[in-house]
Structure 1
Amino acid sequence: MTVKYPPVPWYLQGRAIQILNLVNIENSRPFVPPELEIVSLFPGKTLGGTYISTYESGSILEYNELIVVAALVRYQGKIGAWISHIYVDNEDSVAGGREIWGLPKEMAEFTWEKDSVSVRQQERQLCRVRYKKEWFSFATWWQQPFSGNVFGGLESELLLFKSELKSQLGIVSGNLEIPQESSFARLNLGQPWLILNCQNLELVAGIPKVVGTKFFQENPRGVSF
């Protein structure tokens, strides 16, 4: 079966849970290509986290997605996120993510419930997020636009693209469970710094540009960068 995917940019809309973590740089380093400098926010700490979304009607493709950011990185003066793991439940999205942006997309299964979402790969649990209502009355929804750089590259080319997001945001309490069998357990993301509930989300994944060349190394999952 021929897998087809839409051209860039991709316009997506739906909702998401964004979890931010202060990650130990020593945990991130094995997941990041050596060409990229890990940006330190505090001594020994970088910014990382997980993003779980469902893109619904009105999107260029409809699918669920789990993104794992291992670190905030710098390359030739540009700062962006390094996505070490990414999972979806749409084969067109897998193909597009790999061939357009050089992202290591894999298939997974997503289960959304009222106040939680879990992600599995067949018999292996990748993670589960449980979250509650917003903190206090003043933390109810407000509209916020964001944009940032994202690095990609499955082969020798290092790619950079801009991600633009607009959403109503609420700060929520909750927890992230990552079992030891998860492919990104070694990042130790189980203690969130901040959890955001993103409603009425609009996301644009932009056109990538080649910014450099990547050498190959083996990461802890046995996949070559």
Structure 2
Amino acid sequence: MTDRTGPPADPGFPAPPWRARGTLWLSLFTTREPLPLPADLSPLGSRHLLAVLLVRYTEGTLRYDEFAVASPVRRGRRVGLHCHGIRVDSAASLRGGRALWGIPKEPARFSWSEDSVRVSDDAGTLAALRLGPLGRWRVPVPYAPGHVFGRIGADRIHLAGRLSGRLGTGRLGVQEWSGRLPELRRADPLCALALSPARFFFPAGTRQGPAAPALHP
């Protein structure tokens, strides 16, 4: 049996569900070393597979930018992403991500130009990413899962988010990449997609039982 997580009193962030519109870029890379995962999560495919996501939430419950690096994983029949790092420029999103879903968000600054974005914090640049034009041909996607596994205390939390919009090819390449992030095998992605315009729906999380500590491969 699962039970729904609830926000604390006076949390400083909106109650779920969160709804938003914006643009999502997603690229898949491979890493030089296998990525560590908690023992209760299994990789989908190779442990070297890394998803890099960049999102601009421009309308809805909150408006903010987000950068994440994550492993595609499963837990039993459920699939989703396990974040190795996730950065946002909204204090409310940071607090809500941690308290509602156990997603370890950290603060960052996003500096946008016409075809690139630089993500940085007080320690310096995390990543500089080049963005290409969206593909001319895009297909409507009425529903796509946007699931993430987090952790609150000793419990594994599952966020069963939903996405919809118009999906096509995109470009999210690497110009600079910090040593604080998983080391990439090469700067060119295996594939790059974009969802724009995109709609996002993030409900309350569900507890999935005890989590396990990270295991190094």
Fold match, TM over 0.5? yes
Change (3 A) 1:11 1:188: farther
Q: Decide which structure has greater helix share.
A: 1
Q: Secondary structure at the match of 1:127?
A: strand
Q: Is 1:33 the equivalent of 2:6?
A: no
Q: Secondary structure at the match of 1:100?
A: helix
Which residue among 14, 18, 23 is the counterpart of 1:10?
18
1:39 corresponds to which letter in structure 2?
Answer: L
The alignment's TM-score, normalised by the length of structure 2, stands at 0.83
Moved runs in structure 1, 4+ residues, more than 6 A?
none
1:52 corresponds to which letter in structure 2?
Answer: L
Q: CA deviation at 1:82?
A: 1.0
Change (3 A) 1:214 1:162: same
Q: CA deviation at 1:63?
A: 0.9
Question: Match of 1:169?
Answer: 167
Question: Match of 2:5?
Answer: none
Question: Which string of whole-angstrom CA distances, capped at 9 and with x for unpartnered residues, describes residues 96-133 of structure 1?
Answer: 00000000001000012111112111241111211323
Change (3 A) 1:134 1:200: closer
Unaligned runs of 5+ in 1: 220-225
Q: CA deviation at 1:46?
A: 5.6
Aligned length: 206
Question: Match of 2:6?
Answer: none
Question: Match of 2:61?
Answer: 60
Cα distance in 2 between the residues matched to 1:37 and 1:104: 19
Which residue among 193, 196, 216 is the counterpart of 2:193?
196
Unaligned runs of 5+ in 2: 1-9
Contact 1:13 1:55 in 2 (8 A): yes
Identity of aligned residues (%): 24
1:124 corresponds to which letter in structure 2?
Answer: G
